[in-house]
Amino acid sequence: MENWREISEDIVASLLEDGSNPEVLYEVEHHFVCEDFDKLEQAALAAFKLGYDVEEPAELELEDGGKIWGFDVVVESELDADVIMEDVDKLVAIATQTGVEYDGWGTYFQE
């Protein structure tokens, strides 16, 4: 988890250094992936039951041509590493419990 905290702090700091607006809410996308669709579906259901907005799973093509399943959990959040880490902690726990990979989070620059 310490690694996710460091990554989250770096993302937030980079956005703020680039001039992203700290006063608005951000659409934060948390990414999940797994080769097993059934496990991925279990993770999506668990996130939904916790009240998260879960996007439809999709088949994704990897750089090597392989296929994997993925979905995103979308959360409106302040651009604050501590706030975002509250969701990361919960979502990593879901990933661990269901045997899928939590593949990080991202957001977009806001003026």
Which amino acid would we find at residue 58?
A
Say how many Å lie between the first and final Cα of the chain, rounded: 30
- pLDDT exceeds 80 at position 3: yes
pLDDT band at 108 (very low <50, low <70, confident <90, very high): very high
Task: For 38-65, write each residue's pLDDT tens digit.
Answer: 999 999 999 999 999 999 999 999 899 9
Burial of 82 (0-12, 13-18, 19+ CB in 10 A): exposed
HEC string of the chain equals: CHHHHHHHHHHHHHHHHCCCCCCCCEEEEEEEEECCHHHHHHHHHHHHHCCCEECCCEEEECCCCCEEEEEEEEEEECCCHHHHHHHHHHHHHHHHHHCCEEEEEECCCCC
Distance CA 74, CA 67 (A): 23
- pLDDT exceeds 90 at position 79: yes
Q: Return the pLDDT at 5.
A: 87
Q: Return the pLDDT at 2.
A: 57
Q: Return the pLDDT at 77.
A: 94
% of the chain with per-residue pLDDT over 90: 87
Task: For 10-36, write each residue's pLDDT tens digit.
Answer: 999 999 999 999 999 999 999 999 999
- pLDDT exceeds 60 at position 1: no
